[in-house]
Structure 1
Amino acid sequence: MFFDRDVMDKAGLLTGDGQLVPFESPKHALELMDKLRKDGGKLGPVFGHANDAAMGWRMFWTLFSQTGATFDLTGKRAEIDEDTAVEVVRFMADLTRDSRTMDVQTAIAAFAGGRSPMIFSGEWDMATYKSTLKDKLGGAPIPTFYDRPAGASDSHALVLPHQDDPDPERRRRAHRFVAELVRSGLTWATAGHIPAYTPAVSSPQYARLRPQSEYADAAKQLVLDPPVWFAGSGSDFQTRMCQALDPALGGSSSAQSAVRSMVSQINTLLAQPNPA
């Protein structure tokens, strides 16, 4: 997530080292966000989700994972703590009530343009914010609102296709190419991404990157999608989850309705054979 250091500091929401104060609970977070609105005279935190095929699910999965509640898709039907899921959806709607109908680009514009001092967003948008907020831009792993740190995540991967009779030299060149990409983590970092290459993250050069180095610990609290064949980035699963969540986040339906729809969609997918 990203924030405007000046506005957050004036509202008393930064620690002495310029990081966000801890949120003790969802209730405490909502109280602090009300204080932010009052003291800053701006919107509260924004979150672009409307008509998006990923963002609503990412936020839900982040918060639900922080609770440690049951979300088991290993059987023929989903075993999900629906009461906790409803609580999470309600909190999502309350936390981002100023962006009920915002899509991703509208939320980005609201934050970059100074209408909101905080945005729940991916690190890939960092350069946009940096170009307008300059040194005022702060960043942090998504706060721990519930019992444990967690943040919905994924990663890039390179796959070398199988060959029955590979040429050793060509394979070696492919390995060198991949290794060079991985070692170039600082280049990825300038765009906002957290490098997977440990020497890059621990380097003095990375430490000087702000706000990138401030949210590097997000890599230590990552949670991937449930380990089922139909989940993951760009999947129909994520699209269906977002479609179920959107009406509740927009205020046109209840959290209970959203969770019922999510569970129904998951069970529909579980009933389908794995095409692989």
Structure 2
Amino acid sequence: MLKLSALKTSALAAAVLMSSAAYAEETVVWWDFLGGGDGVRMKQMISDFNAAHEGEIKIDATTLEWGVPFYTKVQTAVPVGEAPDIMTYHASRIPLAVDQNLLSEITADDWSKMDLAKSDYAPSTWDAVTIDGKQYAVPLDTHPIVLYYNKDLLKQAGRLNDDGTPMGMDSREGFTETLQALKDSGSVKFPLGSVTADGNFMFRTIYSLMGQQDGELMTDGEFLVGDNGQKLQNALSVLAEWTNEGLQSTYTDYPATVALFTSGEAAMMINGVWEVPTMTDLHKDGKLFEWGAVELPVIFDHPSTYADSHAFAIPAGDMSAEKRDAVLEVMSWISKNSLFWATAGHIPAYGPVTESAEYKAMEPNATYSPLTQNMIFDPKSTLAGIAGPIFDVMSTYFVPTLNGEMDPAEAVEEIKVELNDL
């Protein structure tokens, strides 16, 4: 009888433990690289998620240093089983991550569980996280570059349309005319502020202008084949011409570019959508002029804008079914509640959010969000992506070329040789 009693007690204890396990809160370990306003907003979204899933799922989040340090840590953590359960990732870095076996495929069953589908995303955004027909991340946003502009200065120069947008956005001649009118007005130091001291940043503008010519940086594993070198030269020549004519800022780093625009010394600025909160907050506090942001001007044949995407990825490795379901819920919930993420200036990747009435009431976001139909991402290469070798090589030649110290044709030849040597 004692043995039977002991067995019953043991069985009861086991049942209690199994019941507790079934209803235990699942902790999802999270790594991101989001600083500044992005970090503030994501921390709020994580807090909101945890509140909505109290007792079920809890995100345990850590923010790491952006760029090479983040990706190096991922590369060393995954093989030894010390990776998180979920992490932010740039779409441009996915080809290298897949080549290094760092990511888990997001399967058709995963997409079904998340209630997300290919049709919810812009084609270029979906393709950016796809390698050999398989998806390796869930896009959260796209963050392209845009043209910021000072409505007051454009109006003074007679280059503001009735709808409050800049004139001359549909051609090289028209946009140069707008720049010249601003210079002739004598009211600005530079008509256009650009980050001309940082070739890594200027890659975004130059690649956009190549895209406007249907140019390709990489074709079948080779760089700048055929007339693509000429298309790169065309892009560099336009920007160098603006600098030489005093229409664009020279040797300007990122903070100085923002300062030129916000102080009114530059009437326009090419920068990422992530600076929208800066402008919004300054204007709200009465410290900024009337401003707007639009898609880049069409300098060549058609609209095209460089973009990257913040996405969610699952590291490769073993994971229980319960843990994976929790991770999928995290990615699904944040995607579907990404309207708040749009206040950082980013364009939510999940289509139903950008199609909502709430998003369409957000300005200037709603004005520039149609550019998602014209986006181009980095070439799919293990050498591409944020802080990748392609950026580094091209940056070396972009800075002197854009600042009038190197001939565009010479720069292209040097770039072609170094890229193909990679």
Q: Is the TM value for this pair above 0.5? A: yes
Deviation at 1:128, TM superposition (A): 1.6
Residue 163 of structure 1, CA deviation = 3.6
Bigger proportion of residues as strand: 2
- Report the equivalent of 1:194: 347
Where does residue 44 of structure 1 map in the other structure? 191
Q: Is the 8 A contact 1:70 1:80 kept in 2?
A: no
1:172 equivalenced with 2:325 (yes/no): yes
Mapping of 1:130-209 within 5 angstroms?
130-134=280-284, 136-164=290-318, 166-209=319-362
Task: Provide the residue aligned with 2:141 in structure 1.
Answer: none
Percent of residue pairs identical: 26
- CA deviation after TM superposition for structure 1 residue 41, in Å: 1.7
Structure 1 residues 76 and 142 mapped into 2: Cα distance closer, same or farther (>3 Å)? closer
Q: Give the conservation status (yes or no) of the 8 Å contact 2:338–2:348.
A: yes
- How far the C-alpha of 1:149 sits from its partner, in A, is 1.0
The TM-score, its normalising length taken from structure 1, stands at 0.89
**Match of residue 272 from structure 1:** none
Match of 1:116 in 2: 266
Structure 1 residue aligned with 2:370: 217
In 1, Cα distance between equivalents of 2:382 and 2:156: 47
> How far does residue 206 in structure 1 lie from its aligned partner after superposition?
1.4
| Aligned-partner residue type, residue 116 of structure 1 | A
How far residue 53 of structure 1 moved from its aligned partner, in angstroms, is 5.2
Distance 1:268-1:28 versus aligned 2 partners, 3 A rule:
same
Unaligned runs of 5+ in 1: 270-276
Choose 220-229 or 91-100, whichever is displaced more.
Answer: 91-100
> Please, which runs of 5 or more residues in structure 2 have no aligned partner?
1-146
**Counterpart Cα distance in 1 of 2:261 and 2:291:** 10
- Give me the CA root mean square deviation: 1.9
Q: SS of the residue aligned with 1:259?
A: helix
Determine helix, strand or coil for the equivalent of 2:292: strand
Is the 1:4–1:118 Cα contact (8 Å) retained in structure 2?
yes
Q: Tell me which amino acid in the other structure corresponds to 1:213.
A: A
- Structure 1 residue 78, shift from structure 2 partner: 4.0
Match of 1:64 among 178, 185, 210: 210
Cα offsets for 1:96-124 (capped at 9, x unmatched) = 54311101111110001111110000011
Instruction: Give the whole-Å Cα distance in 1 for the aligned partners of 2:226 and 2:255.
Output: 32
Larger Rg: 1 or 2? Answer: 2
Give the counterpart letter for 1:101 in structure 2.
Y
1:253 aligned partner: 406
Aligned to 1:128, which of 272, 275, 278?
278
| 2:241 paired with 1:88 | no
Find 1:104's aligned residue among 240, 245, 254.
254
Q: TM-score, normalised by structure 2?
A: 0.60
How many aligned residue pairs are there? 267
Aligned partner (choices 176, 197, 202) of residue 30 of structure 1: 176
Larger mean CA deviation between 117-126 and 30-39 belongs to 30-39
Once the two structures are TM-superposed, the CA of residue 70 in structure 1 deviates from its matched residue by 5.2
The equivalent position to 1:6 in structure 2, one of 152, 157, 167, is 152
Q: Structure 1 residue 21 and structure 2 residue 167: aligned?
A: yes
Write the letter of the residue equivalent to 2:369: A
1:71 and 1:78 in contact (8 A); partners too: yes
SS of 2:313's equivalent in the other structure is: coil
**What is the SS of the residue equivalent to 2:149?**
strand
Preserved CA contact (<8 Å) 1:47 1:99: yes
Residues 185-214 of structure 1 show CA distances to partners (whole Å, capped at 9, x for unaligned) of: 211111111111112111222122211211
Distance change in 2, residues 1:190/1:69 (3 Å): closer
